[in-house]
Structure 1
């Protein structure tokens, strides 16, 4: 049957028998598994949600450096934060015979897992953790805890937390959870809001927030969101950090050049890239690797948080 399914020569009698079995059993051959029997390439595919992101670009730079040192080439598929395109990219990379895939996804669904299983290619998940996949993550819970401790230590009691959808476990759940643990049972009034990852979405949400309430600090789920909040505050003539303090997460380069400079949590994005590349190569070579690696984070205290 294998020779028949792969286009090999078989006798007419054998061909008829195989076709009868296929029809009776309703057999559908796994074309991806068949195609992957061919010789693999020295290419690794990276599936990313967006290219205009500091975190993504730094991670990709780390991947590229490590892969080049190991004589591998990097192929990049940008999905524009669309899950369907992420699934398509997995199959597309299989057709291109890549040796492994590095996946940066906000959410891992059953469709992701089905595609990964069907293509039979080693996959490393970066930024999120999943029990069925090898993962490299940042300590988002600790990051949230550090920020929560910091704003309380600065005397803030009227706090707004501007988060994102909980479908993104790392950013939407873990960071928020760490923050909530830090402020639990403390004498502080905290209001939670949700916005999108894009700066314009954060600006819109912050504009409404700042006209309906007067927090002394806004804790933002990413540096990009924090920049959107800063722009909204400037538009309303709010002085920072005297009237309003702001924090972020990420440690983006832009957080150092805005005024006031942004208090944030630094992440090892470049290291995540080099590690994911090294790990996926080990999987390709069928070497044992850790199921999950957690990278540490650090608080970066700057000018955007004032004392209260």
Structure 2
């Protein structure tokens, strides 16, 4: 049988109202707190977070809005958020928007109406409607993956990561390069990664680079890559995400091209599948789960009115595998 507040109160020798006050973050003496904590441990009592939140001034729920659930980046970020929130005694509520901006705005208001303590938004873009919603709901908001100067943000270091992969392929001797990216509506993936890549290319000599655009879906990317290879024959295709790279790899193989001998391909993300495919995909690894844990820590700090940097960058590293060939002439 599940233990109740009454059981805890009886064992600790205090009133039920005192136990309730302790569970809801109210003021109790240190001696009483120790008695209640000991009784909770002995009885195995587990508070009902929903019932608790209805009584508390601050709820135990954090709303997380994601653009899509079938994304490696989103799912691993959520895993990190959830694991860390559990350690911090908060519960996660997830809202999937299917990449619809209107739905995203609607969910900000809906979660605020459910009295969540704060919202983590895995954003694709920040519009004036977003900013108006943030101001109106007046609860802590944390952006993940995108940034805005007026909102606390945790972002991947897309500019420097884009620069690093550009520098990498140039140092491998590639000068005839295709960049396969996404719409600039997505600032992080569509603008910043390309911005960093362009900076690396500008530092090299004799580069011929063609820029192409596709969607995030690997099958859409496969078609775009096939068309790219009809128009231009690069020695290397730099892709803005791993899914795009997987599509490009398939398109090249269907055209009878060998990877990396005929065309090198790089990705961006560090998805698990990039390690087990053949050839293994050289990619920029982003630490999504770790970023999720950091996001959870930051939103709880914001809820508790603690200091949090306005802008936080997560780390990255290049994982070198077999999909990139070195074409630097070897001098005997």
User: Under a length normalisation based on structure 1, what TM-score does the superposition of the two structures give?
Assistant: 0.86
The answer for the alignment partner of 1:202 in structure 2 is: 221
The answer for the alignment partner of 2:211 in structure 1 is: 192
The answer for the alignment partner of 1:219 in structure 2 is: 238
The answer for the alignment partner of 2:306 in structure 1 is: 287
* C-alpha deviation, 1:64, in angstroms: 0.4
Residue of structure 1 aligned with 2:280, choices 261, 271, 276: 261
| Structure 1 unmatched ranges of 5 or more | 1-35
* C-alpha deviation, 1:97, in angstroms: 0.9
* C-alpha deviation, 1:40, in angstroms: 3.3
Residue correspondence of structure 1 range 72-151 to structure 2 within 5 A: 72-151=90-169
Residue of structure 2 aligned with 1:298, choices 304, 317, 321: 317
* C-alpha deviation, 1:255, in angstroms: 0.7
Change in 2 beyond 3 A, CA 1:289/1:169:
same
* C-alpha deviation, 1:166, in angstroms: 1.2
Residue of structure 2 aligned with 1:161, choices 173, 179, 203: 179
The answer for the alignment partner of 2:257 in structure 1 is: 238
1:208-242 residue CA offsets vs partner (Å, 9 max, x unmatched): 11122211110000001000111111221111111
Residue correspondence of structure 1 range 27-46 to structure 2 within 5 A: 39-46=57-64
1:28-80 residue CA offsets vs partner (Å, 9 max, x unmatched): xxxxxxxx998332000000111111111111011001100011100000111
Aligned-pair RMSD on alpha carbons? Answer: 1.4
Q: Is the 8 A contact 1:249 1:264 kept in 2?
A: yes
CA distance in 2, matches of 1:111, 1:85: 11
Where relative contact order (Cα < 8 A, 6+ residues apart) is larger, the structure is: 1
State the aligned residue count: 273
CA distance in 2, matches of 1:296, 1:94: 31
Q: Is the 8 A contact 1:142 1:297 kept in 2?
A: no
CA distance in 2, matches of 1:129, 1:118: 19
User: Under a length normalisation based on structure 2, what TM-score does the superposition of the two structures give?
Assistant: 0.80
Q: Would you identify which runs of 4 or more consecutive aligned residues in structure 1 move more than 6 Å? A: none
CA distance in 2, matches of 1:272, 1:306: 31
